[in-house]
Amino acid sequence: MRILIVNYRYFISGGPEKYMFNIKKMLEDNGHEVIPFSIHSNKNVETEYSKYFVEPIGGRDTTYFDEVKKTPKSIWQLLTRSIYSREVEKALKKEINDVKPDLVYIIHFVNKLSPSVITGANKMGVPVVLRLSDYFLLCPRFDFMYEKKVCEECLSKGYKSCIKKRCVKGSLFASVVRVFSMKFHKMINVYKNVYAFITPSEFLKKKLSLNGFEEKRIHCIPTFTASKTTIGKQQIGSYGLYFGRVTEEKGVETVIKAYEKLPEYTVKIMGDDTTDEAKRLKKYVENHKMKNVEFLGFKSGAELENVIKGARFTLIPSIWYDNLPNTALESFQYSKPVIASNIGSLPELVIDGENGYLFKPSNVEDLIKKIKMLDDDTLVKKMGQASRKRLESRFAPQTHYEDLMKIFNEAVKSRK
């Protein structure tokens, strides 16, 4: 099968991109041809298909909204890429016309490519399967968060709540644009052209089905992870580890405050330490003279995996409805117990008392209690082995591939 994979980044920035490159390799290893469609960036992985990519908003050095210099051109791009982009539709249709894929698999498009990728594929007679990494179909902010707390007012009171609270980037303009785009997409019924929605978690699947999306078109296919190095024997490490994005909704502040009260314990924070939240937390650690917290910055490949191997357990302290983070699966891969917030999809990953512990989101004292419970080497080893078994039974790459190909084959058959 020839598959056109669509994502708004063609370099690893977070979980969606890790998944994209992992599934691309898996599909290719199974004899399929995978062709990318994305946005130009100086960080992109090289590909012969970059000639079809579209220009980014602001320039090829920009990745995030805050980096975009607001000019008339960039503002127009922001509007069209949020609502509907003829430019993107034209570029996608040209690539489809040239490479003639059997199916389009969309990973992420919001605010960078627009749903024109769905319509463009539909106009060319190619079926679309859409994978969801967050809650963008239901929440203007994508994460159901407001002032560090879960908020679902847009589901109960309507999108006026978003505009009133300026939920998107704290900006009235950005909030109005996002709400208008969601209403517009609903008005033109763009998602009717999606053959199937893929969710990584049952939690997200349930949210969608409870809020107007056809349950029969929603399929929960948990993601998977792929090692770049030899896993080796299980190690009982010496430190707690948080790795991933260092952003507000990830709840890293809870970890910092827990370890402030545990000076005899050590934690490492691995992830981009140039974000506003990372800078704030590093300043907090410095001001409180904490010697047991180490920020490692962004790591990848063997370097990242060696840090995971050396951990005693990993931490997922999210305060949002985290949607099956890759960090849990990578932890399981190296037989690590996981201490995670009892929120969103995380209870689908961590079975409390079996392969780790769940704690109340943002509750420092509860987290401290769970950290201390893993002082026992025998328990750490036992829970780590349970993590590995959970990975193999529920999140195996082959299972993901087989379930996904079943949907792909049905989608292609439906068009024929």
Q: Which residue has the higher pLDDT, 297 or 73?
A: 297
Question: Sign of dihedral through CA atoms 63, 65, 68, 74?
Answer: positive
For 119-169, the pLDDT digits (tens) are 999 999 999 999 998 999 999 999 999 998 999 999 999 999 999 999 998
54 and 88 in contact (C-beta within 8 Å)? yes
Grade residue 228 by pLDDT with cuts at 50, 70 and 90: low
344 and 338 in contact (C-beta within 8 Å)? no
Mean residue pLDDT across the chain = 93
Share of the chain above pLDDT 70, in %: 96
Grade residue 217 by pLDDT with cuts at 50, 70 and 90: very high
Helix/strand/coil percentages in the chain, nearest 5: 45, 15, 40
112 and 8 in contact (C-beta within 8 Å)? yes
Residue 74: the pLDDT is 73
pLDDT at 7 over 80: yes
The CA–CA distances, whole Å, from 95 to 65, 135, 403, 412 equal: 27, 28, 27, 18
| Alpha carbon 115 to its chain's center | 19
For 349-378, the pLDDT digits (tens) are 999 999 999 999 999 999 999 999 999 999
Whole-angstrom distance, CA of residue 207 vs CA of residue 97: 36
Q: Which domains does the chain have, with CATH numbers?
A: 2-133+195-224+397-415 (3.40.50.2000), 239-394 (3.40.50.2000)
